[in-house]
Structure 1
């Protein structure tokens, strides 16, 4: 092999105007390096964010000294490679300027063969302040472009929105769930690469036609060669090999190998089958000598976005290997404000949590980053489909020649980098910009257009079309042909008229429904406002008490305290949580109780939405709530807090996303329908038992019916008259309990209450927790003397329970297991919980409530 590399380490950094160097960690950023050196305090603690806005106003520099071993030094080509520089940087090797970077999302390379010495090399990188770099661009443009979530005032910039000029993670400038930390630094690996003769630079497995009987592929092997010569390319995968003679010219060559695999093992999303992965290894040989090799991993599958016209509009669903898939999942944001702090373990925790929550899709939202490779590798392994946005969100962007060219190169590189991942099923141009600007609806959108003259509007929209209707789709078509491109989320279709822009009742395209939350519409509207694919909707809650105490003190525990307001980035957020809580829930007894109640409130809202969407299949074929995760400890829409702790909502989502699920809804005339929803392909046959209990556990009424539905469908399997079942009962003291069994095995169960939570007459419950015999402290049975709602169990040791925040009916025992995921492990394993505590809703209510 004629390739070698040196990963660059032993970095130091300083502000350009300072003299004293400090230790730095690469990959990293200025903020994390300042923190490790004790120069700044924890950015996430209290209101420290506000005191750290000076960091992005000054220039910083990073330096390392290195020697080069003989093998690398003697290579005929030596390249300096940065997988990521954030963002405006000038790079010098031994005093020579070798490159200038201006895009966080691109790889930067320079040929440094003639500049590198065997010993005592100096590499210096000067990062220019993104604020000072981009402020003059507003003056040059003559007006601000819309950027709703850019927290420019917090950053000391008044109304000057600069985030739109930098090709850098938009959320760094603040969002309505995230802080404003405009970072600089070397955020991905930096290295020297040496090679001689020829090297394989890329292997692309193009899936021309894939089905259960045969996979017809074209494998493109890209080779860079220093000279012209004849060789042989060998390809191997799944125990088969293929060969192709290769006449190589100087420069870049692409050798195409036609490949057929009989009866391939297909890649399936979670719940439908095995996410089987093949490794394709390409070898470049001269005579019998191995010159270069490269391996890639992919899954063989056919995927298409089906948008067929029907009697009400047009479908919007993903068909995997010929099977319509109901997409279940959430929107993913970066796991940290400082991306390099996210370990592989944190990524694994998120993706395994998605799989354990019965999800099959995550949307990589456009205000973050094109994720690290490990994220997509884990999605490939766990069968999690990925809706991938390009990194544009909630803003209009400039359209000068340099900006457009930068975007083109960014798009081409990232599509090429990610195209072998079977998990990626869609590239989407941006988040919410089409509907925010609403070009074809004078009264529509977010009010942006009225700030501009008609001439300015024409330019802004033309610039939008250049990026999202030309450059990005061209990149997908050229570098990942056959992959679907969707211009903006949400969108009805690219019609070029008023019918383009999505709304909550769109009968085609995808929908972001925010009437619940922003418009204070009732939760019940989730049952009414259902689109063909619900790609965003959500409701906020606070993290649990232990998480809050990581950034606050007891004195800060009030909704309107300075610290709690600083950790609530949605201006109306705390008021809205309180307003909705007053509508649906009883009064909490104190602030820690309020935190718990906010989680239950959020969970109940998301349960109503998810189940309404799933009951509506095949009209609706996707439900992705906002949002999966957090980038710092905060009140937000996340189901998992910054520390990876599942909120009540995550447990609810796990139940509502179950592959086979029961769900209730009630008609205006008092009929309660029980739905069975299954994503499994085999038909569903079983027994449905409905039981009416009072809150003390007395069985009042019961009926059993046989149910049968087709696979991959939703159907009403039973209907009852509410008045008949409630005859002689107080509606606020009874619960309807449904159980679906197959061959005596419980498939799913669900409770239905006849009044809102605040109207239910709860009494103090005694919850008995007993260790399951022979489980060695890992499994527990929970029972109660009276109805216990939203039972929250906590353990002495670290780990999590298989279920939580559930209702306990007297006489109906619940078994839970405590689990822990060891570092690097694919799945959680039973673990000893230590002391276990259980509390329920009644324990958090104010006296007399």
Structure 2
């Protein structure tokens, strides 16, 4: 009897091994690079431990090297920080499993602002926009152990002065660049030349603390065969059904002939559409339609529930697979501009119903952007919901917020009026500046456009 049971266990175990072998599919491998960082002023010799994400000011404050910037007039004593260059450095190891993948990239979610990035002494990026994201192929530069990632942050004031002097004349501003407090050479107002949060240079509600640093995460990502680069869910709502289209950007390392790749759409965990697709090496743009019958609609706070469908897109080729999941609310939203007794109307309809918008203007929660926690975000937006607000306007002198902010707005029924990051100034119009802004807009619109809460993109603050 014992031998029979042992044989049964052996057969079951053998079957499990076979099944595991058949299902040997994997998505991208991700290594977070937020540990083991140190920093220093570029002209110093001594390195000090630091936190990433973070800022130069918070790092100095945590080490006790500067006084509290928000106490009395300490702000004036800290204006030397933005005149220096700063260096951040980390070392990391990479597993053989990662190194064996077809494609390996470093993802930079936010570098503030003038950054030169070197991996193992090779220059891989020069960035000049804190609002942009970068994905860089690095497979050929990696080794199993002791990879060194070093980021030089050049002084935003010195870089701004270079651009100011090159222009040859002043551009009108509204006085929010507090160059006098900043002890800037000739009191030159240089903030408009740098794609950086405007309030860093001082505002009527906050101090001038022009910081630098790795303000959003860095990851190493490795994958083989296929990867979903972007998903955009378009929707058309009718009374008894919602017709949706998943617009996909799929990256393939090699061509998949004869429709050997498979794309699937899942709604709340159930497969609702399957399509065989042929992929070419490089970026592939696909559209996959699907339907949700008798849809539950998403409503702003106070008008109904905020039902969110979980929509997943899965792509498989051979033993490789990738999947992206997004919460999607189904709703129509119109901005009504029609002649009226006063000129032209300006109001929103949601699901065909005119809505009186009640809300607030949102500025960054802390001058140092890495200090607010998830609890801070949740408390703030819950408070807006509980105060019967239904719209939040994100101010153009701050930042495009974290994904978490918009996910909470989706959940709480708070529509978002989203400014692009321009405020109270005339900006340069040269091709280099405009191209930088164009890429910034593409990055952030693609990142945020699936959020149900996004109601309107506005060109600037004032």
Q: How does 1:157-236 map to 2 (within 5 A)?
A: 157=184, 158-207=186-235, 209-229=236-256, 230-236=260-266
Higher RCO by CA contacts (8 Å cutoff, separation 6 or greater)? 2
Bigger Cα Rg: 1
Partner of 1:151: 178
Give the match's secondary structure for 1:114: helix
Alignment of 1:278 onto 2:312: no
Alignment of 1:420 onto 2:450: yes
Q: Judge conservation of contact 1:233–1:244 (CA < 8 Å) in 2.
A: yes
Cα deviation digits, residues 597-628 of structure 1 (max 9, x gap): xxxxxxxxxxxxxxxxxxxxxxxxxxxxxxxx
1:291 to 289, 298, 321: 321
Give the match's secondary structure for 2:152: strand
Alignment of 1:12 onto 2:42: no
Structure 2 CA distance for aligned equivalents of residues 211 and 368 of structure 1:
38
Structure 1 CA distance for aligned equivalents of residues 409 and 317 of structure 2:
37
Q: Judge conservation of contact 2:226–2:316 (CA < 8 Å) in 1.
A: no
Q: How does 1:423-434 map to 2 (within 5 A)?
A: 423-432=453-462
Q: Give the deviation of 1:386 after TM superposition.
A: 0.3
Alignment of 1:46 onto 2:72: yes
Give the match's secondary structure for 1:257: strand
Give the match's secondary structure for 2:339: coil
Partner of 1:366: 396
Q: Judge conservation of contact 2:362–2:394 (CA < 8 Å) in 1.
A: yes
1:388 to 418, 425, 444: 418
Partner of 1:335: 365
Q: Give the deviation of 1:224 after TM superposition.
A: 0.5
Structure 1 CA distance for aligned equivalents of residues 342 and 79 of structure 2:
51
- Return closer, same or farther for 1:23/1:210 CA change in 2, 3 Å cut-off: same
Partner of 1:356: 386
Give the match's secondary structure for 1:244: strand
Partner of 1:693: none
Q: Judge conservation of contact 1:2–1:197 (CA < 8 Å) in 2.
A: no
- Return closer, same or farther for 1:17/1:411 CA change in 2, 3 Å cut-off: same
- Return closer, same or farther for 1:99/1:358 CA change in 2, 3 Å cut-off: same
Q: Judge conservation of contact 1:11–1:64 (CA < 8 Å) in 2.
A: yes
- Structure 1: where are the runs of 5+ without partners? 433-849
Partner of 1:110: 136
Q: Judge conservation of contact 2:347–2:354 (CA < 8 Å) in 1.
A: yes
Structure 2 CA distance for aligned equivalents of residues 44 and 300 of structure 1:
44
Partner of 1:682: none
Question: How many matched pairs?
Answer: 430
Alignment of 1:405 onto 2:432: no
Q: Judge conservation of contact 1:211–1:302 (CA < 8 Å) in 2.
A: no
Structure 2 CA distance for aligned equivalents of residues 244 and 117 of structure 1:
38
Structure 2 CA distance for aligned equivalents of residues 371 and 392 of structure 1:
15
Q: TM-score, normalised by structure 2?
A: 0.91
Structure 2 CA distance for aligned equivalents of residues 314 and 159 of structure 1:
42
Partner of 2:300: 269
Q: Judge conservation of contact 1:212–1:265 (CA < 8 Å) in 2.
A: no
Q: Which runs of 4+ in 1 moved over 4 A?
A: none
Q: Give the deviation of 1:138 after TM superposition.
A: 1.4
Structure 1 CA distance for aligned equivalents of residues 342 and 63 of structure 2:
61
Q: Give the deviation of 1:197 after TM superposition.
A: 1.1
Q: Give the deviation of 1:112 after TM superposition.
A: 1.0
Structure 2 CA distance for aligned equivalents of residues 119 and 383 of structure 1:
47
2:375 to 342, 345, 349: 345
Structure 1 CA distance for aligned equivalents of residues 238 and 58 of structure 2:
48
Give the match's secondary structure for 1:43: coil
Structure 2 CA distance for aligned equivalents of residues 290 and 86 of structure 1:
35
Q: Give the deviation of 1:286 after TM superposition.
A: 3.3
Alignment of 1:241 onto 2:269: no
Q: Give the deviation of 1:305 after TM superposition.
A: 0.3
Q: How does 1:72-151 map to 2 (within 5 A)?
A: 72-148=98-174, 149-151=176-178
Q: Judge conservation of contact 2:106–2:220 (CA < 8 Å) in 1.
A: yes
Structure 2 CA distance for aligned equivalents of residues 197 and 285 of structure 1:
9
Structure 2 CA distance for aligned equivalents of residues 111 and 134 of structure 1:
30
Q: Judge conservation of contact 2:224–2:320 (CA < 8 Å) in 1.
A: no
Structure 2 CA distance for aligned equivalents of residues 371 and 363 of structure 1:
11
Q: Give the deviation of 1:312 after TM superposition.
A: 2.7
Q: Judge conservation of contact 1:147–1:163 (CA < 8 Å) in 2.
A: no
2:283 to 209, 230, 252: 252
Task: Give the alignment's Cα RMSD to 1 decimal.
Answer: 1.1
Q: Give the deviation of 1:212 after TM superposition.
A: 4.0
Q: Give the deviation of 1:294 after TM superposition.
A: 1.3
